[in-house]
Amino acid sequence: MFWFARRSYTIIKHSSSPYSTLVSDGKHCKNIVSIQYLHSLLRRNESNPRIIHQLHSHFTTSGLLLLHQKQNSGKLFLFNTLLRCYSLGETPLRAYFLYDQLQQLHFLSDHKQRLPPFDSFTYLFLLKASSNPRFRLLLLGIGLHGLTLKLGFEFHVYVQTALVGMYLVGGNRVDAYKVFDEMPERNQVTWNVMITGLTNLGEFGKALCFLEKMPNRTVVSWTTVIDGYARVNKPKEAILLFSRMVACDAINPNEITILAILPAVWNLGDQRMCESVHAYVRKRRFVPCDIRVTNSLIDAYAKCGCIKSALKFFMEIPNERKNLVSWTTMISAFAMHGMGKEAVSMFKDMERLGLKPNRVTMISVLNACSHGGLADEEFLEFFNKMVSKYKITPDVKHYGCLVDMLRRKGRLEEAEKIALEIPIDQKVVVWRMLLGACSVYDDPEMAERVTRKLMELEKSHGGDYVLMSNVFCSTGRFTDAQRFRKLMDVRGVAKLPGHSQLT
């Protein structure tokens, strides 16, 4: 594998790009000014794989990756920066290829066969590459753990912290605890890595335990756990932690904390809590500074059932500050409340300001037309405008809005025809929507056809069997209803019971 990596770098051709002239002169590149300039190039283009690979090729041919025991600090600085770009980028495996390539170049040039003068940052970035979510290299990371111990990094807080993070990303809590417990020194980053890793694994109790033990808790530590609880639909726990952070630790929330707590607020539907958060946000002057907080507050008011407060807050924001997300959020809020005409008016205002909708905006306005009971012509006007004017290819959600509009009008045959013509495989939701319409309009024949389509796509959804059985019962076909109930038992399908948040 590493031989392939070394060969892959040697076949990179010089380009006529302006970057090729920056390192074409080997002598010029060896001075510290050029190295600093190349370092800045790497940092500015770290998300551009093409430029990163091209610079890597130039570094190799210019001798900038040859490290010597003396006067190597500038080159190692450059090498580590390149390593960082790979480890955090789309191709983390290239970080290991680069490390192996440099080892080979070093041993070929150093006749005394001394170890390359890598430092802690080298191994820190290699461990980051091992835990990159795009392409996890946990086996290589475990091997690297042994190497760092041999090289004397067992007491280095940054390297050990990266090891803790790597093991948690791989779900290996035992080794993560072991590394954490054996660390002679831990900083705030170490504690936060442990808390974040456990939260991502759903180990909220253990994450909370580490939070309690943390010597100097920070807003980052609290926000991580609050966000974790909010994401798994435990809003009461999230709000309780938020209150403890402010009242007990006297820590002021930042913008990220507000973004984490607002989903918990609207999950509970607590309008007073939403108003309290809004007041705090105004006091801390987050609203003029961060449009993300502004948009989240509009969304929270709407989901708490207070569309008037959402609209009032939206209108207070100057148009030059509103972005596409702001307009889409308000259109979606109107759709949620069945206010189709207001949503359409808002969409037209957005168009007049020159903003171009994306596919999420179009889903919102199509939903508004469907739920608001607007005329078919108005819905189709927006659907056609999306395709012809804005060049947005409809996906299953857009077609779902179209089928939903037709089923609400009782035009089931047209809805079935469109569902059959949808050029997308993932259309279970569309068929399920149509089956619900068959239940409302007592159409067992169409319901059977739709159910057959659903069975082809997904046989394990208990709600489909129950709904089909109910359609048969409503039309007096009790034998067929019983047949579907037995089919559920034969296939081992169970319907999940419904629940309500109202107490």
Mean pLDDT per 10-residue interval, the chain, length 503 residues:
34 36 42 59 69 68 55 61 82 83 69 70 88 78 88 90 93 93 92 95 93 92 94 92 91 92 92 90 79 93 94 92 95 93 94 94 92 83 92 88 84 85 77 82 83 79 78 81 79 65 49
Residue 36: the pLDDT is 63
Task: Return the number of other C-beta atoms located less than 10 Å from residue 218's C-beta.
Answer: 15
Q: Rounded to 10 degrees, what is the CA torsion of 424, 429, 434, 438?
A: 150
| All CATH 1.25.40 domain ranges in the chain, comma separated | 415-496
CA gap 301, 269 in Å, rounded = 9
- Full-prediction pTM beyond 0.85? no
Q: How far apart are CA 105 and CA 94, in angstroms?
A: 16
Residue 489 corresponds to which tokens in the numbers above?
Answer: 């038992």
Residue identified by tokens 């690979």 is 53
Q: What pLDDT is attached to residue 75?
A: 56
Give the model confidence (pLDDT) of 390-412 as tens digits: 999 988 888 888 888 888 888 88
Contact 265, 250 (CB under 8 A): no
Q: Give the separation between CA 417 and CA 422, rounded to whole angstroms.
A: 9
208-211, long-range: CB within 8 Å, 24+ apart, which pairs? none
CA distance 225 to 248: 16
The DSSP element (H or E) to which 203 belongs, if any, is none
The two three-digit tokens of residue 319, written as one number: 């148009």
Q: Can you read off the two tokens belonging to residue 237?
A: 């726990």
CATH code reported for the domain at 415-496 = 1.25.40
Nearest to 308 by CA among 276, 339, 284: 339
